[in-house]
Amino acid sequence: MPDEPRETIDPRIDTPGREGLTGTAPASVYRPLHDVEQVTIAPDWSPMDQQPAWRRDFPIDWPQDHYVERRDFMKFLVLTSLAFTVGQFWIAGLNWLRRRRGQPEMRRVAAIDEIPPGTALSFSYPGEHDDCVLVRTGGDAFVAYGQKCTHLSCAVRPRVEQGVLECPCHQGSFDLASGRPTAGPPRRPLDLVRLEIMNRQIYATGIEARTS
């Protein structure tokens, strides 16, 4: 900053402020009248008297603005970090509640004779809003899954002849025999409903969620 106003110090030897200095006064003995950080700097770094009138009327110090923006962004990120941590403990709380609830009670779903081979039956288990699908794959072989797609919870539909359960929302597909994803966006298998057959009656005995 070549045109910065400066205050000179008396260059004579042995004057106050020059104790110990000899010879020509070095540039460092000149103190600027203004603190560098108090000078407003425009975005193009040219002097303020070359700036348009509106900028002179409403001057924004560009380096200070940069600093404040980044400082505020960092505060926002730390707040986001707090939100993520709260989310982690929220999941831990949900898990604790789920463990406390334990496995759902056994419930009759249907009689074997109500479901011909190659067909499916919708039922609710364990709650009335937890839709599941029971499929008779052949003979006395049955499989049952939660009907919520593990991608975005659309209801999956059994295609018994193709051996899949398909999700119509995003063309997700699950293997009918295992419930594992075979195509589309889902990554986790469908929730498996454990079944038990007693006296030609089919009972749901529990739900098993899986990661792979």
List the interface residues with other proteins, window 5-24 (CB under 8 A). none
C-alpha distances in Å from residue 98, one per residue of 95, 103, 104, 111:
5, 9, 11, 30
- 8 Å CB contact between 152 and 137: no
Q: How far is the CB of 161 from other proteins (least distance, A)?
A: 29
- Which of 1, 13 has the CB closer to other proteins? 1
Question: Of the listed pieces 11-19, 21-29, 79-87, 106-114, which binds other proteins according to CB under 8 A?
Answer: 79-87
Strands 31-32 and 6-7: antiparallel
Alpha-carbon dihedral sign for residues 142, 146, 148, 149: negative
- Considering only 50, 80, 122, 171, the residue that binds other proteins (CB under 8 A) is 80
Beta strands in 41-189 (DSSP E): 107-111, 120-124, 131-138, 141-146, 157-159, 164-167, 172-175, 181-183
Contact mark string toward other proteins, 131..170, x via CB under 8 A? -------------------x--------------------
- Considering only 20, 89, 127, 198, the residue that binds other proteins (CB under 8 A) is 89
Q: Give the whole-angstrom CA distance, residue 86 versus residue 149.
A: 27
Phi-psi region at 163: left, alpha or beta (left = phi > 0; alpha = psi -120 to 50): left
- Which of 158, 189 has the CB closer to other proteins? 189
- Considering only 1, 36, 152, 183, the residue that binds other proteins (CB under 8 A) is 36
Nearest to 153 by CA among 165, 137, 138, 169: 169
- Considering only 84, 116, 161, 198, the residue that binds other proteins (CB under 8 A) is 84
Question: Of the listed pieces 11-19, 91-99, 137-145, 170-178, which binds other proteins according to CB under 8 A?
Answer: 91-99
Q: Give the whole-angstrom CA distance, residue 118 versus residue 108.
A: 20
* Residue 99 in contact with other proteins, rule: CB under 8 A: yes
The one-character DSSP state at 10 is: -
* Residue 103 in contact with other proteins, rule: CB under 8 A: no
Contact residues toward other proteins (CB under 8 A) are: 35-37, 63-64, 66-67, 70-71, 73-75, 77-78, 80-82, 84-85, 87-89, 91-92, 94-95, 99, 150, 187-188, 208-212
